[in-house]
């Protein structure tokens, strides 16, 4: 067969295949990068594995949007537009240098597969309920990262004080060294990450929200809010990559305990 004709046939074939698969997806665009990259696992973190696994610089090579924390649970991490921010326990927001290290994080290269042009929510449960309904259409067994931009009449965030070794379990850290901040009239972005039920304990099932104000002065792990008016962009994710800690603490950790109730109590 003439090579040009063969080439044309292959192209036509590929187009037909992609048209069929596009129809099969509930989701709109299904843009390009659909991978999530995770540092460590929630179970290890809950057990007090706060040693850095990779650097902030390396983390940024895996995406531009996400959340996590820093070595020793030194505050909450919000990754937005490729910048890694720390919401510190003293309430300040800092851009973290590439040399800092990361014990736990999830990050993706955000691309908008769908959106909610106007979203209003009375509170946290109202918002996550609406997000649940939205992703039910596309499949609750996918992972999602959602950016919600808007105005909050009130938002409550927490951060955590840096821990010293020997590290205690995270439930104890949250009980003793958690700092809670309540801010009124904030405009900013919530980065929300959703993991399906079968990934509970690897991360955590459901929605995990971190906030950063537009003026980059306030933020943290979202505990609650009231009266959100804004919009949401949704990134549907189909691929998961995980890097494990390489230290002895992790290698010898006992993972037989069911941590799900502890995870939901602090997150």
- Sites of contact with Zn ion (CB under 5 A): 221
Residue 147 or 221 having the CB closest to Zn ion: 221
DSSP assignment letter at 202? T
| Residue listed under structure tokens 């230290």 | 247
CB of 170 to Zn ion, least distance (A): 11
Residue 114 or 143 having the CB closest to Zn ion: 143
Q: Which two tokens stand for residue 19?
A: 């048209």
CB of 111 to Zn ion, least distance (A): 23
CB of 37 to Zn ion, least distance (A): 17
Q: How far, in Å, CA of 227 to CA of 144, rounded? A: 23
Residue 68 or 150 having the CB closest to Zn ion: 68
SS3 205: coil
CB of 190 to Zn ion, least distance (A): 11
Q: How far, in Å, CA of 246 to CA of 254, rounded? A: 15
Q: How far, in Å, CA of 244 to CA of 225, rounded? A: 34
Residue 47 or 221 having the CB closest to Zn ion: 221
Residue 104 or 167 having the CB closest to Zn ion: 104
CB of 237 to Zn ion, least distance (A): 18
Residue 205 or 221 having the CB closest to Zn ion: 221
Count of CB atoms situated within 10 Å of the CB of 112: 14
DSSP assignment letter at 32? S
| Torsion over CA: 122, 127, 132, 135 (sign) | positive
Residue closest to Zn ion (Cβ) = 221
Q: How far, in Å, CA of 254 to CA of 267, rounded? A: 21
Q: Which two tokens stand for residue 238?
A: 């189909």
CB of 24 to Zn ion, least distance (A): 34
Q: How far, in Å, CA of 84 to CA of 98, rounded? A: 9
Buried b (16+ CB within 10 A) or exposed e, 224-244: ebebbebebbbbbbeeeeebe
Task: Identify whether the C-beta of residue 208 lies closer than 8 Å to the C-beta of residue 152.
Answer: no
Residue 62 or 210 having the CB closest to Zn ion: 210
CB of 69 to Zn ion, least distance (A): 7
């Amino acid at each position: 067969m003439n090579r040009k004709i063969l080439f044309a046939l292959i192209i036509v074939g590929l187009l037909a295949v992609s048209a069929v698969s596009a129809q099969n997806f509930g989701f709109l665009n299904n843009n390009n990068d659909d991978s999530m990259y995770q540092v460590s696992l929630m179970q290890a973190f809950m057990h007090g594995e706060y040693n850095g696994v990779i650097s902030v610089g390396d983390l940024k090579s895996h995406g531009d949007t996400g959340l996590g924390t820093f070595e020793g649970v030194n505050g909450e991490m919000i990754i937005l537009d490729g910048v890694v921010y720390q919401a510190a326990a003293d309430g300040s927001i800092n851009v973290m240098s590439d040399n800092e290290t990361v014990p736990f994080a999830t990050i993706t290269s955000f691309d908008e597969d769908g959106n909610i042009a106007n979203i209003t929510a009375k509170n946290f449960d109202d918002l996550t309920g609406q997000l649940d309904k939205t992703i039910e259409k596309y499949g609750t067994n996918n992972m999602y990262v959602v950016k919600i931009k808007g105005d909050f009449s009130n938002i409550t965030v927490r951060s955590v004080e840096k821990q010293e070794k020997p590290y205690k379990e995270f439930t104890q850290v949250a009980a003793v060294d958690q700092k809670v901040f309540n801010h009124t009239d904030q405009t900013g972005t919530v980065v929300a990450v959703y993991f399906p039920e079968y990934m509970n304990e690897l991360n955590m099932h459901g929605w995990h929200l971190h906030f950063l104000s537009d003026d980059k002065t306030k933020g943290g792990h979202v505990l609650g809010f009231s009266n959100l008016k804004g919009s949401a962009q949704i990134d549907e994710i189909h691929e998961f990559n995980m890097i494990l800690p390489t230290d002895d603490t992790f290698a010898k950790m006992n993972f037989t305990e069911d941590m799900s109730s502890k995870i939901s109590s602090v997150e």
